[in-house]
Amino acid sequence: MDCKEISSLLYDYTRGETGMKISETIKDHLGACPECAAELNKIMELKGIFRASLAEVPVNSIVKIREHMKKPAIFRLFFKPVFAAAAVLLITGTLLINSAVSYARSSELDSFLSDSYKVVDHSDCYDVITAAYSGDIEQDIY
Amino acid sequence: MDPKLEVIYRENSRYVYNVALGILRNKDEAEDVMQNVFIKLFDSFRAFRGEANIKTYLYRMTVNKSIDYIRFQSLHSKKNEEIEIPEAAKNTDSAKATLDSLLENLKDDLKIPVLLSEIGGFSYKEIASILRINLGTVKSRINRGITRLKELAAKEA
């Protein structure tokens, strides 16, 4: 393997991701090649930066989690987005159905009432009464 | 809280927090992501079989939640509040400042596998499983990420 190939495998080598045979080849090469050894050094410096930068977890973080876990399981269920969304949908759906049913009922009631109080045309009756008073109708009756 | 859950938190919280912090570069958001990820895990703890399963889930959720945060922010054009490094602490805390500036210039698709490898300590195979990408892609992204970080570090020096 030449320097270019070795260099491309150096990070994998530090992570133990190269096989045993390749690792041996790299190790031998590094012993004889200062350029590749310098490349490995750069990678190790980077890794050092990652290690040194690890931040501590804020102390109070666990408090919120503990408080959440104290709540009864059924209550915690509503903290799950899927269940929360399902609950919102269920409530919205129930309200919509209720309002649709009550609208249907009220329109049913409206039509019933309007049928019951329909304005009747009494002009025919008026003619019959007038005829009765005038005596024209008597003949028809008997 | 169940002692088992306390142990899981104690063993993983620092790494989960630092992976989120590496992606988001914002302490409050990283803490928020970490808390949500643990709460979600503990709520559905009984469904898990084996520690490997739990770790994969933890880090997958951490990456996904962090990406959601970034997406949400870019949707709302809110500028990322970067990690505050007090002037006085800059010399003593130079590693954090260096890493922050390096990660700032690394694309997420390269940054995330590198963070999972360096902070999470996962093998390439595990990273492939967490990110649901194939092993070849993990290798190539990590190597591109490290090459880019070396270039950036050289510029900073």
pLDDT over 90 percentage in chain A? 32
- Cα end-to-end span (Å), chain B: 47
CATH classification code of B3-156: 1.20.140
Helices vs. strands in chain B: H and E counts, helices first: 8, 0
Q: Which of B72, B88, B90 is nearest to B80 (CA)?
A: B72
**Would you state the structure tokens that stand for residue A43, as one six-digit string?**
């990678």
CB contact A61 to B (< 8 Å): yes
Average pLDDT along chain B, 157 residues, taken 10 residues at a time: 86 93 90 92 79 84 90 58 42 72 90 93 92 95 95 85
The confidence band for A30, taking pLDDT boundaries of 50, 70 and 90, is very high
CB contact B99 to A (< 8 Å): yes
Q: CB B15: neighbour CB atoms within 10 A? A: 22
Q: Which residue from B minimizes the CA distance to A74? A: B43
CB contact under 8 A, A46 and B150: yes
Answer whether A43's CB lies under 8 Å from B146's CB.
yes
Most confident by average pLDDT, A34-48, A81-95, A96-110, B76-90:
A34-48
For residue A69, give the nearest of B1, B31, B153 by CB distance: B1
CB contact A59 to B (< 8 Å): no
Which residues on B lie below 8 Å from A43 (Cβ)?
146, 150
Stretch A69-98: mean pLDDT, rounded?
72
Q: What is the ipTM of this complex?
A: 0.78
pLDDT at A140 over 60: no
pLDDT at residue A28, as a whole number: 94
Show which of residues 23-52 on chain A sit within 8 Å of chain B, judged by CB atoms.
42-43, 45-50, 52
What is the rounded distance in angstroms from the CA atom of residue B127 to the CA atom of residue B124?
5
For residue A43, give the nearest of B95, B124, B146 by CB distance: B146
Mean pLDDT of all residues in chain A?
Answer: 78
Measure CA B141 to chain center.
15
CB contact A74 to B (< 8 Å): no
CB contact A82 to B (< 8 Å): no
The confidence band for A138, taking pLDDT boundaries of 50, 70 and 90, is low
What is the rounded distance in angstroms from the CA atom of residue B130 to the CA atom of residue B15?
15
Which residues on B lie below 8 Å from A58 (Cβ)?
27, 31
Angle between helices A61-70 and B3-24 (to 10 degrees): 130
Which of A83-92, A133-142, B67-76 is the least confident region? A133-142
pLDDT at residue B84, as a whole number: 44
B146, B149, B150: best mutation site toward chain A, by most A Cβ within 10 Å?
Answer: B146
The confidence band for A86, taking pLDDT boundaries of 50, 70 and 90, is confident
CA A131 to each of CA A135, A136, B48, B55: distance values in angstroms, whole numbers, following the listed order: 6, 5, 95, 101
What is the rounded distance in angstroms from the CA atom of residue A8 to the CA atom of residue A28?
16
Stretch A114-142: mean pLDDT, rounded?
58
Q: Which residue from A minimizes the CA distance to B14? A: A57
